[in-house]
Amino acid sequence: MLAATWRLSQRAVTSPLLGIGRPQIRSPSPTMASLSPAAAASPKRLRVYSSAAADGAGSGKRVGTHNGSFHCDEALGCFLIRLTSQFAGADVVRTRDSQILDTLDAVLDVGGVYDPSQHRYDHHQKGFHEVFGHGFNTKLSSAGLVYKHFGKEIIAKELGVNEDHEDVHRLYLAIYKSFIEALDAIDNGINQYDTDQPPKYVNNTHLSSRVGRLNPDWTDPDQSPEKENAAFQQAMMLAGSEFMESVRFHVKSWLPARSIVLECLLSRGEVDPSGEIMVLDRFCPWKLHLFELEEELKIDPLTKYVLYQDVRSQSWRVQAVSVAPDRFESRRALPWRGMRDDELSAETGIPGCVFVHMSGFIGGNKTYEGALEMARAALKF
């Protein structure tokens, strides 16, 4: 072991997958000042111990990444690979020394090699063009590479099911789209927008810039490897905890909502023979699911209106579906814009009308039957 090895002993594990609680940081031993010139110039390692490893139950593996300034992709990649059965509780070694890297069980974001059979996950080398697939075309970073090969295992553990379960694959794609892809794109310098075209990826977190700010400030007089390694540990915890939050959100909220929208979309013909009116029998976030499911199922004609109950007022809403998830224009805006109450009921001939927004994107009625009649009448305009 190099003399400048720096250790963190982790305690208070908060999740069986997260594997990281609040680290108790021990001072490096020996200090840099006590090292010989040769040892002081040698590559520095960061060793990370999970509670399992501290109890002798870790994998005994070593995972390498580069030292120096760090980015979100290798911080998250190191976190993710340590969630796997093969690399659970692995030591993380930070160095650019190729002789040391060659001895490690896995190497991320350094080394100039992508070879999953040897667990080499770099993306900087000439000729590297690996993408996630499944319709995604963004060049992968080290985080994306680790997720591509181990993401299903990580998600299956969180769900408590086998990797071949259909929900695992569905979440695997959704989490890549909403969380991982932006990190890949930012690390590879890919612009989110090309002039007036739709965005190439979704950036919900701005995690890359927040991880970048954890690097030691150039004005800090302490630029030691120990300070840098401590900052990298913070970066791993930040990126990893937000990844796990994303996984749990998708398991707890996103997946159930998708199931509700799918069921309601498939039964829309029972609501109205046009097939253009959908009723949510239980309110949930529905917009993005509707667009994705319509594309996936090749729905034609597209849904124009979605009805759901406002749980606060117990009245019903008629919402016009927008032309795209990030657009305000509706596929078919409600007529009667700006009208309310008795005036609106008199104009439509439908009792119980409450309002129609000035933009026509939403309206309301006191009853389900009234809301449905408003949607049916709007289809005729």
Q: What amino acid is encoded at 50 in this protein?
A: S
CA distance 58 to 379: 62
**Looking at the 3D structure of the chain, how many domains does it have?**
2
In a domain, 34, yes or no: no
- Specify the pLDDT at position 228: 86
- Specify the pLDDT at position 358: 92
80 and 181 fall within a common domain: yes
107 and 230 fall within a common domain: yes
In a domain, 153, yes or no: yes
- Specify the pLDDT at position 236: 85
234 and 308 fall within a common domain: no
Specify whether the CB–CB gap between 253 and 171 falls below 8 A. Answer: no
Host domain of residue 213 = 48-189+205-252
154 and 215 fall within a common domain: yes
146 and 224 fall within a common domain: yes
240 and 281 fall within a common domain: no
172 and 285 fall within a common domain: no
In a domain, 257, yes or no: no
- Specify the pLDDT at position 194: 66
In a domain, 26, yes or no: no
289 and 242 fall within a common domain: no
- Count the residues in the chain: 381
182 and 245 fall within a common domain: yes
236 and 344 fall within a common domain: no
- Specify the pLDDT at position 35: 30
In a domain, 40, yes or no: no
In a domain, 304, yes or no: yes
Q: Three-class SS string for the chain?
A: CCCCCEEEEECCCCCCCCCCCCEEECCCCCCHHHCCHHHHHCCCCEEEECHHHHCCCCCCCEEEECCCCCCHHHHHHHHHHCCCCCCCCCEEEECCCHHHHCCCCEEECCCCCEEHHHCEECCCCCCCCCEEECCEEEECCHHHHHHHHHHHHHHHHHHCCCCCCHHHHHHHHHHHHHHHHHHHHHHCCCCCCCCCCCCCCCCCCCHHHHHHCCCCCCCCCCCCHHHHHHHHHHHHHHHHHHHHHHHHHHHHHHHHHHHHHHHHHHCHHHCCCCCCEEECCCCCCCHHHHHHHHHHHCCCCCCCEEEEECCCCCCEEEEECECCCCCCCECCCCCCCCCEHHHHHHHHCCCCEEEECCCCCEEEECCHHHHHHHHHHHHCC
245 and 137 fall within a common domain: yes
In a domain, 197, yes or no: no
pLDDT in single tens digits along all 381 residues of the chain: 333 333 333 322 233 343 333 333 333 333 333 333 333 344 455 555 444 444 445 668 999 999 988 988 999 999 999 999 999 989 999 999 999 999 999 999 999 999 999 999 999 999 999 999 999 999 999 999 999 999 999 999 999 999 999 999 999 999 999 999 999 998 888 877 665 666 667 666 678 778 888 888 888 888 888 888 888 888 888 888 889 888 988 998 999 999 999 999 999 999 999 999 999 998 899 998 999 999 999 999 999 999 999 988 889 999 999 998 878 899 999 999 999 999 999 999 999 999 999 999 999 999 999 999 999 999 999
116 and 158 fall within a common domain: yes
In a domain, 42, yes or no: no
